Amino acid sequence: MISNAIPINENFRLEALKSLDILDTKSQKEFDEITALAAYICETDMALISLVDNDRQWFKSKYGLKTCETPRDNSLCSHVVLQPHAPLIIKDTREDERFNDSPIILEEKPIIFYAGIPLIDKDGFALGSLCVMDSVPRELSNKQLESLNALAKQVIILFELNKKNNDLQIIQNKLKKHNESLREFARVISHDLKMPLANVITSTDLLKLKLEDKLDNESLEYFDYIKTSSFSMSSYISDVLDHYESESLIHNKPEEFYLNHLLSKIVDLLAMKPDFTIYFPEEDPIIQCNKLALKQIFFNLIGNSIKYNDKDQIIISIEINEDENFYYFRITDNGMGIPNDKLDTIFELFTTANTTDRSGNKGNGIGLSTVEKLVKNLGGYIKVSSKEKVQTTFEFSIKKSN
């Protein structure tokens, strides 16, 4: 075989090849299907997706061979990158003066017929070839050559998709580390801020008690304002911590439990007053899922149904249905409702409906974002419908633990 020349753009070509992060990767079904199809269409014994590296040709996919790579200086595919705009077709290597000085053999199979289509990236660099080979002389029809060209274009598309997926994975890994840092930051800040806030609340009560006989009512009201603001800040910190810690709930193993028993515990935690009525599902179903995550979801939703309710008698109804793959939950209240122009953004972090709750406080826009995050991580979806001053209904699904 005549020694191969080097393309004039070799350094840039190699940069383009290495930027794909495809060299020395594991075999993939999508590429293997292309080489098998190429061999079938062209009626050959062998087919390769060959990438021409600095001193070797490496096979991303191979049909009819087991070899993963061969030296570049003994490579037919390395001749393809010299003429990137035309296929290399050799009917019989024994009769071609470029290759007839010594037989070309792969795994004890003589390579007589060769057809290689250049693999051209978006910038015009020839990365290698999609080639078919046989141990007997052959010719390709125009239809076979057209099909081989079409398959070569699909290889390039797969290369680009593979690169994008790799880039996305890198970004996801960075985001995961970033979120872990944020979660740790939120935990530390929450811990460090909550104790001083508790001291502020206690000191405010003591000062108000001590100065009660020395200050007028208007001055004493400032102590109430400080205390209310401190409680609001403490609640905000707790919600931030819950949001960043919600991801850790997803890793809990599924449990089997009675739904109404779980709901009863949530109601007890919320310490409901007599003006509150909640209807559980008539049949107390046994469900199997991530119990702690579902508890957090219902705790937030029921809590919101109570906080954002302007009726004398708070009424909440909870329903459940299921099919083979999902549990479906519905929670409806007779509260203030959500304005239509806020329904599409209500689950966004730090977004609120711009309404104050039952006690006159404004929400922080964290709770529903946490709920949506948990539901999605459990393989489900959540939606909301509402009529102002009448009712709000949240519907969400959770994928069953099969």
Give tens-digit pLDDT for 121-165. Answer: 998 999 999 999 999 999 999 999 999 999 999 999 999 999 999
- Where does the chain hold its CATH 3.30.565.10 domain(s)? 250-402
Length of the chain: 402
In this prediction, residue 351 carries a pLDDT of: 67
Contact 35, 27 (CB under 8 A): no
- Where does the chain hold its CATH 3.30.450.40 domain(s)? 10-162
Residues 71, 54: Cα–Cα separation, whole Å: 10
**Pairing mode, if any, of strands 326-333 and 314-322?**
antiparallel
Q: How many CB atoms lie within 10 A of CB 306?
A: 21
Return the CATH superfamily for domain 250-402: Histidine kinase-like ATPase, C-terminal domain (3.30.565.10)
| Consecutive 10-residue averages of pLDDT for the chain (402 residues) | 73 92 93 96 96 94 93 86 90 83 80 95 93 94 96 95 90 79 68 73 82 80 75 65 63 87 86 81 90 88 88 92 94 91 81 66 73 90 92 93 70
First CA to last CA across the chain, in angstroms? Answer: 60
Chain CA centroid to CA 129, Å: 33
- For residue 180, which amino acid is it? E
In this prediction, residue 343 carries a pLDDT of: 85
In this prediction, residue 257 carries a pLDDT of: 92
Residues 374, 293: Cα–Cα separation, whole Å: 7
Residues 373, 76: Cα–Cα separation, whole Å: 54
* b/e code 59-77 from CB counts within 10 Å (16+ = b): bbbbbbbeeeebebebbbb
* b/e code 388-401 from CB counts within 10 Å (16+ = b): eeebbebebbbebe
Residue keyed to tokens 């960043």: 244
At residue 227, the 3 state secondary structure works out as: helix
Element (H, E) at 241: helix 217-249
The interaxial angle of helices 291-307 and 217-249, nearest 10 deg, is 150
Burial group, residue 209, by CB count within 10 angstroms (0-12, 13-18, 19+): exposed
Return the CATH superfamily for domain 10-162: GAF domain (3.30.450.40)
Q: Which two tokens stand for residue 387?
A: 């009529």
Contact 34, 49 (CB under 8 A): yes
- For residue 385, which amino acid is it? S
Residues 22, 37: Cα–Cα separation, whole Å: 21
Kindly report the backbone phi and psi dihedral angles of residue 27, in degrees, each rounded to the nearest multiple of 5, phi listed first: -65, 150
In this prediction, residue 7 carries a pLDDT of: 85
What is the average pLDDT value for the chain, to the nearest integer?
A: 85
